[in-house]
Chain A
Amino acid sequence: MGGRDTDIVLLDENGIRCDGRKVNETRKVTIKAGVLKNANGSAYIEFGDNKILVGVYGPRDVHPKHLSDTDTGILRCRYHMEPFSVGERKKPAPSRREVEISKVIKEALEPAVMLKEFPRTAVDVYMEVLQADGGTRCAALTGASVALADAGIPMRDLVAGCAAGKAADAVILDVNNEEDQAGQADLPIGYMPNLKKITLLQLDGVLTPEEYKQCIEIGIDGCNQVYEIQKKALQDKFFSNGDKQ
């Protein structure tokens, strides 16, 4: 959270944000399920200008064997940004940020994925960020849930992701890149919409207790909106009446 000085007007006198949105509006989200030939399940998500491709393999054999668990399957997640996905080219090797985000997303999905059904196996989730514009971890998490469902991995619920935040002293929904750089707080949320549980939560910035409450409320609302798009992606792939896309 930079709180950097900027020439960009984050919120004008009409309550309009730098990209034309109102404070409680998410960016445009589209998701397509089943886009890769080899992966067991996959999804491509565009969340604003974020473009993320997710592939799932599994349940599958674990190598080396000592990593497997006799009582349960294990979930492995990798969040990775392509060198060309960000403004200044990123070196291919995994950064500490990517390692942390991979872990946080794994822990956001674990409550949903029913791993005990597949002892001694692994479910691998690979999230590849092709273009980044703020809020990639929420978008990656959202795509990962769809890819897992596409692969037929049993889940208690989907997990939808959306960030709330604060910029120009106002609580906002779905923080974009400029708002992340120059704003005051960024609160990514991962949420299971039917079980009503928050499984991903982080904060970068400063919030009063009242702002914190508002962020959570507006964030859950955002997640519910994103969930509708996840549902649509799966319905379009599996339930449409034989229409070729």
Chain B
Amino acid sequence: MSSERKRHVIPGEIITSGPYRAEQNTIQVGENIISTIVGLSDVHDGSVRVIPLTGGYMPKDDDLVIGKIVSHSSLSWTADINSCYVGMLPASDVFGRDYSSSSDDMTAKLAKGDLIAARIVNADMTRDPLITISGRELGKIDSGELVKISPNKVPRLIGKRGSMIQMIESSTNSQVTIGQNGLLVVSSEDPNGLLKAIQAIELIEEQAHVANLTDQVKEMLESKSE
């Protein structure tokens, strides 16, 4: 089966009809496969999906996310992960299974307002997703600037095999930790580089749907800063 050209679609619009599998952001109604969101339809290999241009973050297993601690109980911390579901970080993830932690122990490790890089462990929607900060490059974030973009722009920011983000990092001398939930932490020794990196990210957020985005970003990075 041939692949059809990508098309702009809105909720309720018929993408195609016939023997196709309805995948992400589509449903089958009678013979037709329709889009459920605003996005770009993608038909190939007998299946239809829509790449979203809208929408918030839905937690998925193994996603790396940036979270903000909002509260804690004696058993876990709760983190705002920029989603309609909050992330639960069990105390045992930090203290080990048998350690029984007091409230002071909890706050000393992670307090309200602290930012963390975490991974989604279990994203079943019948309860809040479990997250972990034990792992390479995970844990409390002490420095850098927090930037927020729409989660559906994250793939564009990363680029094919990481090409876009690597271009930004190398040309501005900065490091960007990208959360799949649209939260990013940008750090750099060079304040101008930091500013440029953030501007590049904002440009991608605004122009994600435009074809020559890579050229635009390249041009922006190469221009002299004020």
Contact = CB atoms under 8 A, between A and B. Distances in A.
**Direct chain A–B contact by Cβ atoms under 8 Å:** yes
Interface of A: 40-41, 58-61, 70, 112, 114, 118-121, 149-158, 192-195, 231, 234-235, 238-239, 241-242
A149 B38 contact: yes
B56 A40 contact: yes
Q: Is the interface of B mostly helix, strand, loop or mixed?
A: loop
Contact of A239 (B11, B84, B126, B209): B209
Contacts of A155: 11-12, 36-37
A149 B37 contact: yes
Given A156-B29, A156-B34, A194 B84 contact: no
B55 A151 contact: yes
Interface string B31-58: 0001011100000000000001111100
A60 B84 contact: yes
17 contacts: A58-B84, A59-B84, A61-B86, A112-B11, A114-B36, A119-B125, A121-B84, A152-B52, A152-B55, A153-B55, A154-B25, A156-B11, A156-B27, A195-B29, A238-B8, A238-B209, A242-B206
Given A150-B54, A241-B210, A118 B36 contact: no
B23 interface: no
Counting contact residues on chain B (CB < 8 A from A), the size range is 20 to 34
Interface of B: 8, 10-14, 25, 27, 29, 34, 36-38, 52-56, 84-86, 125-126, 152, 206-207, 209-210
B179 to A, nearest CB: 18
Contacts of A242: 206-207, 209-210
A58 B10 CA distance: 19
A241 B86 CA distance: 35
B29 A119 contact: no
Contacts of B152: 152
Looking at A40, A151, A194, A241, the one whose CB has the most chain B CB atoms below 10 A away is A194
Contacts of B13: 194
A196 to B, nearest CB: 11
Contacts of B8: 235, 238-239
A194 B54 contact: no
A193 B12 contact: yes
A195 B55 contact: no
A-B complex: 6 closest residue pairs judged by Cβ atoms: A152-B55, A152-B54, A157-B12, A154-B36, A59-B84, A155-B11
B53 A238 contact: yes
A152 B152 CA distance: 10
A41 B54 contact: yes
Contacts of B36: 114, 154-156
Nearest to B213: A242
Nearest to A114: B36
A55 to B, nearest CB: 15
Contacts of A192: 12
Contacts of B37: 149, 152-155
B11 A154 contact: yes
Given A151-B54, A151-B55, A155-B36, A231 B84 contact: no
A121 B77 CA distance: 20
A152 B38 contact: yes
Contacts of B29: 156, 195
Looking at B8, B37, B54, B209, the one whose CB has the most chain A CB atoms below 10 A away is B54
B208 to A, nearest CB: 10
B68 to A, nearest CB: 14
A157 B11 CA distance: 5
A158 B9 CA distance: 12
Nearest to A152: B55
Contacts of B55: 151-153
A167 to B, nearest CB: 32
A118 B38 CA distance: 18
B56 A152 contact: yes
Contacts of B52: 152
A112 B54 CA distance: 17
Given A238-B53, A238-B209, A149 B11 contact: yes
A68 to B, nearest CB: 11
